[in-house]
């Protein structure tokens, strides 16, 4: 059974049909790519999957649980975590605290415990710190743990965002243009990181990307969006050779 099953998803803003008849089916452990020209509606699809927008029609089922039109917070707890096209970190907090915030629903204790400093506070905080440092180590960010997130270089901010998303213990990870603004070296490193995450965290990943090298390098299957509609769907190699797809990207 597929981990994510999306059927006939559609949304319109005013008179503009941003996305319509969007279908996708992602199996567990897959690395799936969502591509398309600018303005095709890729990020809108992400926003519907994560509950930022409520779709007008269609259904989203994650691991057998319907999550259509639910709130972002609920959907995250149900198992979808994401990163953003324009990085959204908690800039005024340290790198470590950013990941700790990601662990919010993984290690819990209540407000009273924290005000009175019951033993549970110290135990949970210690546990949280260990787990967060473990994650940071994976992304080679452990030396920067005490820096403010806003002081990290761009490439590391992207990594931190992925680390924070993973901290929420998701089943499906959505990456919105992870390679945007990166140089070829950083992109190559990112490809390794994404593969590593998939293999070591047992993760299913859906990503939006413009960098064709990255897409052809790591994605197993692709969906191409154009003007809010699915243009083509299938194995990466076949899709990238499709004449319709080439036409959409380059023109006639």
Partner 1 sequence: MKNFFTNMKKSTKNHLITYAGIIVAYAIMQILCGTGVASNLIKGLLVPICVYSIVAIGLNLCVGILGELSLGHAGFMCIGAFTGALATKLLYDYIPSKILMFLIALVIGTFFAALFGFLIGIPVLRLKGDYLAIVTLAFGQIIINIINVLYIGKDEAGLHFAFSNPNAINMNEETGVWLINGAKGITKIPSISNFTIGVILLIVSLFIVYHLVDSRTGRAIMAIRDNRIAAESVGINITKYKMLAFTISAAIAGAGGVLYSHNLSTLTATTNNFGYNMSIMILVYVVLGGMGSFRGSIIATVILYMLPELLRGLSDYRMLFYAIILIGLMLFNWSPKAIVWRQKVLSLLPFGKKGEKGKVE
DSSP structure class, residue 151: G
108 in contact with partner 1 (CB under 8 A): yes
- Which range touches partner 1 (CB under 8 A), out of 78-86, 136-144, 152-160, 200-208? 78-86
Q: H or E stretch including 23?
A: strand 16-26
For CA atoms 241, 243, 247, 250, the dihedral sign is positive
| Cα–Cα nearest to 191, from 159, 154, 221 | 159
Closest distance between partner 1 and the C-beta of residue 220, in Å? Answer: 25
Q: How many helices (H) and strands (E) does the chain have?
A: 10, 10
107 in contact with partner 1 (CB under 8 A): yes
- SS3 state at 66: strand
As a whole number of angstroms, the distance between CA 235 and CA 92 comes to 42
Maximum pairwise Cα distance, the chain: 68
Is 23 or 73 the residue whose CB approaches partner 1 more closely? 73
Contact residue for partner 1 among 117, 143, 213, 247 (CB under 8 A): 117
Is 82 or 198 the residue whose CB approaches partner 1 more closely? 82
Contact residue for partner 1 among 10, 17, 84, 145 (CB under 8 A): 84
63 in contact with partner 1 (CB under 8 A): no
Quick count: other Cβ atoms within 10 Å of Cβ 183?
11
Contact residue for partner 1 among 148, 180, 188, 230 (CB under 8 A): 148
> What strand order describes the sheet that includes 57-62?
16-26, 4-13, 57-62, 65-66
- Which range touches partner 1 (CB under 8 A), out of 68-76, 182-190, 196-204, 206-214? 68-76
Chain positions contacting partner 1, by CB under 8 A: 50, 52, 71-73, 76-77, 81-82, 84, 88-93, 97, 100-102, 104-105, 107-111, 114-117, 121, 124-125, 128, 148, 164-165, 167-168
């Amino acid at each position: 059974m597929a981990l994510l099953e999306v059927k006939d998803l559609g949304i319109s803003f005013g008179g503009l049909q941003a996305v319509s008849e969007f279908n996708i089916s992602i199996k567990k452990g897959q690395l799936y790519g969502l591509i398309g020209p600018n303005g095709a509606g890729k990020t809108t699809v992400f926003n519907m999957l994560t509950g930022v927008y409520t779709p007008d029609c269609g259904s989203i089922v994650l691991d057998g649980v319907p999550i259509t039109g639910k709130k972002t917070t609920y959907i995250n707890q149900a198992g979808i975590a994401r990163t953003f096209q324009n990085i959204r970190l908690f800039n005024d907090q340290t790198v470590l605290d950013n990941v700790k915030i990601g662990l919010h629903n993984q290690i819990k204790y209540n407000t009273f415990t924290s005000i009175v400093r019951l033993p549970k506070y110290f135990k949970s905080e210690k546990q949280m710190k260990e787990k967060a440092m473990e994650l940071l180590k994976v992304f080679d960010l452990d030396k920067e743990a005490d820096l403010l997130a806003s002081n990290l270089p761009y490439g590391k901010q992207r990594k931190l965002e992925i680390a924070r998303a993973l901290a929420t213990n998701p089943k499906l990870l959505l990456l919105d243009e992870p390679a945007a603004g990166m140089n070829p070296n950083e992109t190559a490193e990112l490809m390794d990181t994404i593969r590593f995450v998939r293999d070591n965290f047992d993760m299913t990943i859906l990503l939006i990307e413009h960098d064709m090298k990255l897409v052809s390098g790591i994605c197993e299957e692709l969906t191409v969006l154009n003007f809010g509609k699915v243009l083509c769907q299938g194995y990466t190699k076949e899709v990238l050779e499709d004449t319709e797809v080439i036409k959409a990207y380059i023109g006639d």
